[in-house]
Structure 1
């Protein structure tokens, strides 16, 4: 099972903190002496060494200078810290410019990605959403996070990405849970249209859509939704944040998780049967 992404980032923060502690020990400074050299309270050193203190570039530079570290070491530590900062981005921070801008911001990354492997346990992936479904979902997100209403424009921006399905360049391997078909977002009419659209997109040559049925003998339980992009990074959306994973070990965990989920899923006629049955229940 993939570890929770925020846990993996915390471990990476702790690894950086360990590097800084080693610098201090190698320099022969006590935590109190280092704090005095940096002009900090000693408790800040303790928080930094435990991985509980968010670090700025100046914090790392001051710590490194006090320990006599070279410029190359300082630059490496600052780079690691910046990668950590960009790996965990709170939604409230990302949504300040509105939902439409948030949808547009990811488009360059999607355009650069050739192979998508997507797992979603609860919602239809954005590439497959109808305008009605996307509007209902984004309107609720705007309400939940108290974002000024631009759900309709955000939905149009989300739909604009769907041209990638027809480009001939991008490939989409998608696994969803059967629960996605049953979760009524936007009401029966919108949901019926969305499910009908799934039947259309699964016929595209660029798309491989499979569904884990309720009746599957599970080798792995439902996990958080995640997108593997060209085997280079994994993007996860939690309730509070967007998380990017790039560490080799973490990437391998998500690849293995996707493979196990795919093995439990049905495709082709059986997947279409699950969709049409869900439509009938509406």
Structure 2
């Protein structure tokens, strides 16, 4: 997980959209600021995504550009950008334990969940011991109570009730490196890899592994969850990102398809798991 915030690019894109409206009206930034009664730097900051426009700003912007018909669309887009990014300080107000239950309704309502991970085993596929090790790292990084680790891991196990039921169907893609990142030590990793092999036999669960050393048609990237073709979620070191924008969803659907074409399944995937086991035993 990197420390970049994807919502920043959305802010810049929204600012560019507003700039294009201004340019279509044949107004310079100085002229536009004068008509709005603003300082000229405000226009520049909004267009570069460094200042968030208020809803009143957006209404005035559209009206000044004779684009009143776009007001509702622009306000809706601006509201979604505000909801895209949640830093971990805000995310963890309810604590690690309760956080594990927040998406249960989303899981239950989804028909197919697509998951890509490049760094670690996804939560749905984790053993209790692996989850505890991961929560331990997370708690120390964010200064969270170590006493909550066991309960948080146990609560994460509750999501496994969806596996193998067909409600939803699961499609997992993992980089082989995610199987070799030593989380919790050799014993924990050995148990985790064995559990992965067991899960692969469940109905309505597909697990693909992208082998190390394979010639890439698409490079590895940040992990993500796609819920049907409606919602995207990603986690980063400093927070969580989500979006329901159709253009973003379509982009990540293409990414998932491209990554899937590089993956192996079935017996070949089991061989990758055993290869990861061998690498860990050699460390």
Short-chain TM bin: 0.7 to 0.9
The one of 190, 193, 197 aligned to 1:192: 190
Cα distance change of structure 1 residues 11 and 29 upon mapping to structure 2, 3 Å threshold: closer
Q: Does the CA-based 8 Å contact 1:23-1:69 persist in structure 2?
A: no
| Length-normalised TM-score, structure 1 | 0.84
1:60 aligns with 2:27: no
1:115 alignment counterpart: 112
Quickly say closer, same or farther: Cα 1:56–1:104, change in 2 above 3 A: farther
Query: Aligned residue for 1:30?
Result: 31
Measured in 2, the distance between the counterparts of 1:67 and 1:249 equals: 25
Residues 59/7 of structure 1: CA separation in 2 closer, same or farther (3 Å cut): closer
Gap change, CA 1:13 and 1:69, over 3 Å in 2: closer
**DSSP 3-state at the match of 1:110:** helix
Residue 212 of structure 2 corresponds to which residue in structure 1? 214
- Alpha-carbon distance between aligned partners in 2 of 1:101 and 1:78, rounded to the nearest angstrom: 32
For residues 62 and 102 of structure 1, the distance between their equivalents in structure 2, rounded to whole angstroms, comes to: 39
**Residue 12 of structure 1: aligned partner:** 13
Going from structure 1 to structure 2, the CA distance change for 1:218 and 1:74 (only over 3 Å counts) comes to closer
Query: Residues 256 and 60 of structure 1: is their aligned pair in 2 closer, same or farther, counting only changes over 3 Å?
Result: closer
> Which stretch shifts more, 187-196 or 235-244?
235-244
Kept in 2: contact 1:192–1:279 (CA 8 A): yes
**Is 1:5–1:236's contact at 8 Å kept on the other side of the alignment?**
no
Gaps of 5+ in 2: none
Q: Distance in 2 between matches of 1:144 and 1:20?
A: 43
Q: Give TM-score, length-normalised by structure 2.
A: 0.84
Q: CA 1:34/1:141 → structure 2, altered by over 3 Å: closer, same or farther?
A: farther
* Closer/same/farther in 2, CA of residues 218 and 64 from structure 1, 3 Å limit: closer
Counterpart residue number, 1:130: 127
Shift of 1:129: 0.6
> What's the offset of the Cα at 1:246?
3.2
C-alpha RMSD of the superposition: 2.8
Asked whether the equivalents of residues 118 and 228 of structure 1 are also in contact (C-alpha less than 8 Å), the reply is yes
What is the CA distance between 1:64 and its match in structure 2? 5.6
Task: Summarize the Cα distance change of 1:21–1:96 in structure 2 as closer, same or farther, 3 Å threshold.
Answer: farther
The residue aligned with 2:77 is 80
Aligned equivalent of 1:258, options 256, 259, 267: 256
Paired residues of 1:234 and 1:251 also in contact (CA < 8 A):
yes
- Where does residue 94 of structure 2 map in the other structure? 97
For residue 174 of structure 1, report the CA deviation from its aligned partner: 0.8
Which residue of the partner structure matches residue 245 of structure 2? Answer: 247
Q: Secondary structure at the match of 1:104?
A: coil
* Other structure's SS at 1:264 match: coil
Say which of 148, 151, 175 aligns to 2:149.
Answer: 151
1:106 is aligned to: 103
Aligned length: 274
TM-aligned CA deviation for residue 109 of structure 1: 1.6
CA separation of 1:142 and 1:67: change in aligned 2, threshold 3 A: same
The aligned counterpart of 2:139 is 142
In the TM superposition, residue 164 of structure 1 has moved relative to its aligned partner by: 0.8
Q: CA deviation at 1:92?
A: 2.6
- List runs of 5+ in structure 1 lacking aligned partners: none
